[in-house]
Amino acid sequence: MSFLSLIGFFFVIKFFMYFILFFTGDSDFELWWYNMFSNKLAHAYTRDDGKIYIVYHNDTLKGKVVWITGASSGIGEHIALQLSKSGSKLILSARNKEKLLQVKNHCLEISGGKLSANDILVLPMDVTNVSKHVSWFDSVINHFGKLDILINNAGRSQRAKWEDIELSVDREAFDLNVFAAINLSRIAVRYFNQIGSGQLVATSSVAGIVPPPFSATYNATKHALHGYFGALQREKVHSNIYVTLLCPGPVFSNFLKESFTAHPGEKFGLSHSPTDNRMSAERCARLSCIAIANKLKESWIGKFPIIPLLYLSVYYPILSNKLYELYGYKIIQKIRDNQPAV
């Protein structure tokens, strides 16, 4: 086989793998590869006696101190549960203390005895109160003596017509989704600089890559996260400080119900249908933790057809725009919410 024939053969194999992945996978190719061949996470299972057993597979997150904002529900809650299986020590933050305590108890139960109550710190906080970030950060260091990973997960989505959105909603969304995460992350990075290592994680969205309609402010906040953390990735390229951007698509959670609208103080209020084509928060969290464990820079997560649509939009934008002109926003609404967004 000639050299050019060999190159052609590898291109055919690569195309075939992408084609299969498009229809069967729920992540981008890089994350799929690590999920299949370099998992680095623990597995929990229950035997007939009802006890939970943990099997470790070179788990790089075992013993790590991980701070999760937005940990009281949804993806954040399930990331906490996954990390508890891995033996990570946790700081759980959100506004609702009672829900955080419930998550803590569930984490202790599912850890299979690997964690004690002192290994999980419940730290209630409103992340938008940036004046208290330093004192909250100090509380974490005083409790555990260190911090290895900060996961910025707190945030809200939006459903509204572009021209109806009041500027106060833009400001409120940026305060929560962007400025809170950036301020807390800068405190963490200064600490990581001192100790010589650390990892920042931000829950972005596929909306931070390709902006869907009727979520203009939310899209802008996620694009802003990519701008901020993308710059940090490049500044720290030759250091032991890593940045991971998680980009999930539609997930079963209370995200839609809690979404911003066009008007301040208002929530979208509608819930998902259990028959929607959405990824479970548990599956999303597991893939997210695989990305974190392998220090991936950016990971796309979503059920079909999210991943092929992303590849199409990013690598073939002209074709993507033409298809959108043909089929319009209704098909995007159906894929994302299975109902009219506004």
Nearest to 329 by CA among 231, 221, 214, 217: 214
pLDDT, one tens digit per residue, over 143-158 is 999 999 999 999 999 9
Per-residue pLDDT, 234: 97
Distance of CA 173 to CAs 88, 89, 210, Å? 31, 30, 18
Distance of CA 106 to CAs 44, 114, 197, 212, Å? 13, 13, 30, 35
Instruction: Tell me what the mean pLDDT of segment 89-113 comes to.
Output: 96
Q: What pLDDT band is residue 192 in, cutting at 50, 70 and 90? A: very high
Residue 250 phi, psi (nearest 5): -60, 130
State the burial class of residue 94 (Cβ atoms within 10 Å of its Cβ: 0-12, 13-18, 19+). buried
Distance of CA 134 to CAs 97, 141, 153, Å? 20, 11, 18
Per-residue pLDDT, 44: 56
- The catalytic residue among 218, 242, 327, 329 is 218
Contact between 76 and 97 under an 8 Å Cβ cutoff? The reply is no
Per-residue pLDDT, 2: 75
Per-residue pLDDT, 341: 66
Pick the CATH number of 19-336 from 3.40.50.720, 3.20.20.80, 3.20.20.70, 3.50.50.100: 3.40.50.720
Helix (H, G, I), strand (E, B) or coil at 63: coil
Per-residue pLDDT, 236: 98
pLDDT above 90 as % of the chain = 72
Boundaries of every domain in the chain: 19-336
Nearest to 282 by CA among 18, 84, 19: 84
Contact between 286 and 110 under an 8 Å Cβ cutoff? The reply is no
Distance CA(177)–CA(181), nearest Å, equals 7
**Is 316 an active-site residue?**
no
- Mean pLDDT of the residues in the chain: 91
pLDDT, one tens digit per residue, over 296-328 is 999 999 999 999 999 999 999 999 899 888 887
Q: Which of 31-45, 204-218, 271-285, 300-314 has the weakest average pLDDT?
A: 31-45
Residue 7 pLDDT exceeds 90: no
- Residue entry with tokens 């939970």: 52
Q: What pLDDT band is residue 330 in, cutting at 50, 70 and 90? A: confident
Instruction: Write the single-letter amino acid at 303.
Output: K
Per-residue pLDDT, 10: 78
